[in-house]
Amino acid sequence: VTPHESAHQWWGHMVGFASYHDLWLSEGFAEFSAGLFVEATSKPGEVDTFWDRLRNEIVQKNNYGIAPNDAGPLWLGQRLNTFKTPGAYNRLVYPKGAYVLQMLRMLMHDEMTGDQDFIALMHDYVHTYLNQNASTENFKAVVERHMKPALDAEGNQRMDWFFRNFVYGTSLPKYRLEY
């Protein structure tokens, strides 16, 4: 809780959110920051426990058999909460917002420079929107300024594919290893 709430000095205070659609830019970013804190200060394996807990929040079905991720996309914000999906907002926006950043971090990771590119992206985001309210599209534009050629899945120098699936859609990453 403490690292999450401390992170709001950046995510929510220094950079605000434009509407309820963009609340994940505060809560998801703060939860991601809590994950970084766990990674930097905990024993090996504890960070895996952190991310496993977040994943379970996203996919665990409620009494109606509906998982928070099934309630709708991250971008719906507080409108995720309905009679049949109570608490879906907290159980999706915080953890999946954190996962969106972690996925971007991992996609941008370089063996030689580590997280340098991702850190530059986040610095640019804070610098560009300092004392302003940013939207999801504003954040996407910053991501696109920093994207590596390998992330240009559609050949248009945009991250539409990523945001369409994970922010505006209900996709969850899946990997299949063939040997």
pLDDT, one tens digit per residue, over 27-64 is: 999 999 999 999 999 998 899 999 999 999 999 999 99
Tell me the pTM.
0.93
Per the listing, tokens 């050629």 go with: 149
Over residues 124-168, the pLDDT tens digits come to: 999 999 999 999 999 999 999 999 999 999 999 999 999 999 999
Q: Evaluate whether 119 touches 127 at the Cβ level (below 8 Å).
A: no
* Cα distance between residue 104 and residue 89, in whole Å: 22
pLDDT band at 177 (very low <50, low <70, confident <90, very high): low
Residue 13 pLDDT greater than 90, yes or no: no
Sequence-separated (6 or more) residues with CB below 8 Å from residue 35: 47, 50, 51, 54, 98, 102
Phi, psi of 174 (to 5 degrees): -135, 140
Do you know the residue count of the chain?
179
